[in-house]
Chains A and B, each alone.
Chain A
Amino acid sequence: MAKVRAATVWMAGCAGCHMSFLDLDEWLFEFAKHVDVVYTPIADVKEYPEDVDVALVEGAVATDEQVHLIRDVRRKTKALIAFGDCAVTSNVPAMRNPFGGAEVVLKRSYEDPANLNPQTPREEGILPVLLDRVRPIHEVVPVDIFLPGCPPPAARIQAALEQLLSGEPIKLEGRDLIKFG
């Protein structure tokens, strides 16, 4: 049987979901028997490859670059999993939304008189431009599976991956598998 081609992607989040993935600990050896991880921030692949079977996407969509990235991921991926609460609801990164756009929030951090050279960093072509409204993934591209949690505990990630590897459609039911927070 051919190995499953899997990816993990990190957008506007804290890496906690990726840490929870690594909390699979020694089960990762079992996982690696059946799965090729073809793209992940913890490896050196720079561009998202074609023909990915499943992608775990952590984080909300907060910059123009992330909009491009998630569209690219969607185009090349069979099953897209919104991985964790930031991906599912936009959660903490979206807490800046009520303040009325990116500029207000940037000003507070960078144009503080206490700083040397107070200015908002915006080198074109290098720094991504912040969206005025942070969005959950499903507002930008269709999502196949929602895996909530802040972060989803390792046991929940394992349950979802085991279902996936068995070739059955993923069905997450019950508090242990769908609780937010």
Chain B
Amino acid sequence: MSQRIVIDPVTRLEGHAKISIYLDDSGQVSDARFHVTEFRGFEKFCEGRPLGEMAGITARVCGICPVSHLIASSKAGDAILGVPVPPAAAKLRRLMNLGQIVQSHALSFFHLSSPDLLLGMESDPASRNVFGVMAAEPELARAGIRLRQFGQKIIELLGGQKVHPAWTVPGGVREPLTEEGRQWIIDRLPEERATAIGTLEKFKGLLDRYAAEAQVFGNFQSLFMGLVGPNDEWEHYDGKLRFCDSRGNIVADGLDPARYRDFIGEAVENWSYLKFPYYKSLGYPEGIYRVGPLARLNIAERMGSPLADAELDEFKQRGNGAVTSSFMYHYARLVEIVASIERIEQLVDDPDITSPRVRAAAGINYLRGVGVSEAPRGTLFHDYEVDENGLITRMNLLIATGHNNLAMNRTVAQIAKHYIQGPKIPEGILNRIEAGTRLFDPCLSCSTHAVGKMPLRVRLYGSDGSLLDEAVRD
């Protein structure tokens, strides 16, 4: 038994987690583990329930990205009904998903990560949070809050409420967009476009200051996976799956998301409630891949809108075929906010967007359906099997954050190895390790579907159980 440091709980993540750091006999970091400590059991307790309930129940997997679950669930339902949804319904689902990408990315950047980036990784933990940013940089905080509000309001205009709207259904959506709603979005767009561009520029200005972090914050070779559109463009709702390597070479392309089991395996470890997906051809754990904003930008050749296209070209110059540092998740997230706002601009001008024809009706025609969407954090799969009456007989959810599980563990280990030398715990290091996990914006609420002024106390034990060192952060 080697020595172990435990960080409990990991804060400013959307979920419940601990981190262990292992030292070998010479006091060097040998390994680190990111433990997900919660489990709820959706795959079991949805058995026997009607297909029509699934969107409403699985939205409750996650209050941060319920729209991703609503969409993936409804698309699994579309496949079981065997009907194409009306064009307006697909566009409205896209609009809601874009609203969610904006609100969720704004939350990740402004509310959860900007305290590290703006106040400093080693600033006072008591104020290193969103309230600290509100006090230190009120204008920036207000802009971030309003950006998130913009995304949440789009969700509410379509679905009637900001969290868990019961709006998408197998076959389409329940309600069209009203003209008043369309006008509200149009009126607010210029402000949010300016905020998105301004924040991206500000972040680029910070990159030099964080050059050292970018080198060791999850900077390694891996595959990248996500959906791409028919013209190799950034995609968040439909399309085919693509895997690229860390030089940007396409490893697999045009994959049907419904056949995900052919190329993605899941491993279980005794020390985490979060399973470990891997790319089957390379085995476990060599088949490590990353998903989410960084992956989507690495696999796409264009964003599909003018400003974001230019930003993507500039982003790609920071890598050699692909951008490999996980620190760049922040950057990619901000580019995606710009892209989402431009696509919202396109959609509100689409003649279909206020069409009343938004739902196709059908019965149970197929006994299995897989629905996929790009959640803010990566590719989300809902896989349902039903009986003739449409009652669920088997369900499997493959969650965005789950795909990044191997990568988050590797990131934590890389940061720990870089900053910890010997049995003493250096000041400020623990938050760097936590900040490493925050890059992935892990939504542990989702992942565990199967699932002030206080000290942080970390203890380091020797192999004989004796206390070697204790760090308390006041």
Contacts and interface: CB of A to CB of B under 8 A. Distances in A.
Interface of A: 10, 12-20, 22-23, 25-26, 28-29, 32, 36-49, 62-63, 65, 91-93, 95-96, 98-99, 104-106, 108-110, 114-119, 121-123, 126-128, 130, 150-151, 153-154
B430 to A, nearest CB: 10
Nearest to B46: A95
Given A32-B134, A42-B111, A43-B129, 5 more contacts: A25-B148, A28-B134, A41-B13, A99-B41, A117-B267
| Chain B CB within 10 A, most for which of A49, A92, A96, A130 | A92
Given A42-B130, A105-B44, A126-B18, A25 B12 contact: no
B37 interface: yes
A96 B60 CA distance: 14
Contact of B44 (A12, A92, A108, A118): A108
B266 A121 contact: no
B contact patch SS: loop
Given A96-B44, A115-B268, A15 B62 contact: yes
A163 B41 CA distance: 37
Contacts of B272: 121, 127
Contacts of A48: 454
Contacts of B130: 42-43
A26 B450 CA distance: 35
Interface string B44-67: 110000000000010011111010
| Chain B CB within 10 A, most for which of A28, A44, A96, A121 | A44
Contact of B452 (A17, A45, A106, A109): A45
9 contacts: A32-B131, A44-B456, A45-B126, A48-B454, A63-B38, A98-B45, A110-B275, A116-B265, A116-B268
Nearest to A107: B44
B267 A15 contact: no
Given A106-B39, A126-B35, A151-B164, A46 B456 contact: yes
Nearest to B116: A44
Given A32-B131, A46-B455, A122 B284 contact: no
B269 interface: yes
A46 B11 contact: yes
Contacts of B455: 46-47
A121 B269 contact: yes
What are the 4 A-B residue pairs with the smallest beta carbon separation, nearest first? A16-B63, A43-B129, A109-B450, A105-B41
Given A23-B152, A116-B266, A127 B66 contact: no
A149 to B, nearest CB: 9
